[in-house]
Structures are given as C-alpha cells and as structure tokens.
Amino acid sequence: MLAAAVLVFRFVQYFGATILLGSSLFFINGLPKQGPCAASSNHWPKRLLIGSAALLLISSILGLVAQTGLLAGSFGEGLKLINLEAVVTQMNFGWSNIIRAIVAAGLLTSLIVFRPSPLLWVECAIGGAVVCASFAWMGHGAATEGSAGLVHLLADIAHSVAAAVWVGALIVFVFLLLRYQSSLDEDEALYDSLRRFSGIGSTAVAVLIITGLVNSWFLVGINRLGDFWATLYGQVLLAKLALFLGMLGLAASNRYRLTPALGVALQAGTPRLNVLSSLRRSLVLETTAGLVVLGLVAWLGTLAPVTAQ
C-alpha cells in the first residue's frame, strides 16, 4: 500500500512541475501577448497554476511521509519526527522533497496574491525548473558515482525539463481546445500558437532523445541490450518508449498535416470545424500519452535499473 502511495505521489509531483514549467513557458512564448487570447486576460491560466502548485505542495509533503514510512515499516513510523529528520538530513529524496514543498508554497503564495502577468508566469517557470531539477537528485541520476556521475545527473535534469516543456504546452492546447467556441480571432491565435510550438517542440524532442540515450547508457548498459527486456525495469522502459514514439507520430501529424490545414482554412475563409475537431482529438491523445509516460517515469524511479540487477 505504501509503495503504491509513493508512486502516486511521485506522479502528482511530476504532473504539477510539468504544468508550472511547461505551461507557464507557453503562456509567455506560445500565446498572444495581448488581447482576449492572452494568458493574462483569462482566469483559467492562473487557476491551472494555483491547482498545480497546491498539488505539488501536498504531494511533496505526503510523498516524504509515505517514503519514510516505507523505509521505516509503516505509515505511522513515517509520521514520527525522528524518522522524518533522519530522511531529510541523510537521504537525497528527503531534502529534495523539502525543496519542492518550499518552492510550491512560495509559488502558491505568489499566485494567490499577485495578478496574472508575464512576470508571474516567469516566476512559475523558474520554480518549475527548480522542481524538475530536484527530481534528478532523488532518482537514478544522482546515484552514479565518479566523474560520469555529473554527466548522468545533467542528462537527467535536461530530460525532465524537456519533458515538462513538451507536455506542459500540450496541456495548454487541450485547455484551449476544450473550453472555447471557434471564432476567427481565437482560431488565428491557436494557429499562431501551433506554429510557435513547432520549433519549441522539435527542440524538446531532440533533447529528450539525446538525454534518453545517455540515461540508457547508465541505466541499461550496452552489455544488457540483448536481455534488458526480460527485467521489469526493461519492460516498463519499453512501454515508455512505445508511448513516446506514438507521441512523435501524433506531433508530426499535427505539425505537417493538421496545422497547415487550419492555416489554409483560415486564409481561404472556409469552415474550420472539421480540422479543429481533428486537432482536438489528436492533442488530447498526445497529452494523454504524455501523462501516462509521466506515470511510467514515476514507476521507473522506484525500480532498480538493469545495470544494478
């Protein structure tokens, strides 16, 4: 039971950090700066970030208690101050949870007190980046010893940040497509956002591929390529890779087929409902796959890597 709770809390932390970093960055770089489609002109972007910061704060605290209880033998033991103090002062996952809770509390306060603005989105993005970096310190990336340890740690951090940038932007697209009724101004803003995201998404994918290969070198090892799939870690990793490839296929369809089709319809003044429906369906599928990948990453973080088996 505690093991399942640890996994759930890890996923919720990944989810919160993804929105704080990726969605905030997209509010700045993906949406119009002014007008009815700007993030600062609507209520839902701030509410989305408030919910994410609150989830991150709660899951960081409960995740620390659950992980401590798992090590100590029961949930009750995880609540004892002496056990919590030992974990926080002696283990990476302990103090990294505290960092996440502090960052989440600070962001939550700012989001409640201050009005929506680009400066507030920048603060959330910076906080989200710090949280994403902290995940590497409680994971396999911080366990590699020697000079190669820094390479592994940096690759793990870059991997987490790139994933948050991609999936966080997708979540914004889903909110946009599910909540508004088609109008010329909003459709043009959506088209511009899709075009802007093409370059950002391509960069994020490239970083994910490169850092994924680096991480696999350390966690799977070239000597285990022939049988890594026989381990639970390998099977979960393969499921993650399969979903990642599916996301790439959907992203390619969005970029090279659906987004140009929306541009043609806008230029010609023809009906756009069919292409918008296809975009909505594709982006929902891509986002769902991304969230499942986050869940698999949370699971992988609790498993011994192939090189340790």
Of 223, 206, 60, the C-alpha closest to 127 is 60
Mind listing the pLDDT tens digit of every residue in the chain (309 residues)? Answer: 888 899 999 999 999 999 999 999 999 988 888 777 788 888 899 999 999 999 999 999 999 999 988 888 888 888 888 988 888 888 888 889 999 999 999 999 999 999 999 999 999 999 999 999 999 877 665 566 666 778 888 899 999 999 999 999 999 999 888 766 667 778 888 888 888 888 888 899 999 999 998 888 888 877 777 777 888 988 999 999 999 999 999 999 999 999 999 999 888 888 788 888 899 999 999 999 999 999 999 999 888 877 766
Name every residue whose Cβ is closer than 8 Å to that of residue 45 and which is 6 or more positions away in sequence.
Answer: 23, 27, 39, 116, 121, 172
Domain ranges across the chain: 1-138, 148-309
What pLDDT was estimated at residue 182? 63
Distance CA(44)–CA(187), nearest Å, equals: 18
- Collapse the DSSP code of 203 into the 3-class scheme (helix H, G, I; strand E, B; otherwise coil) and give the result: helix
Distance CA(248)–CA(246), nearest Å, equals: 5
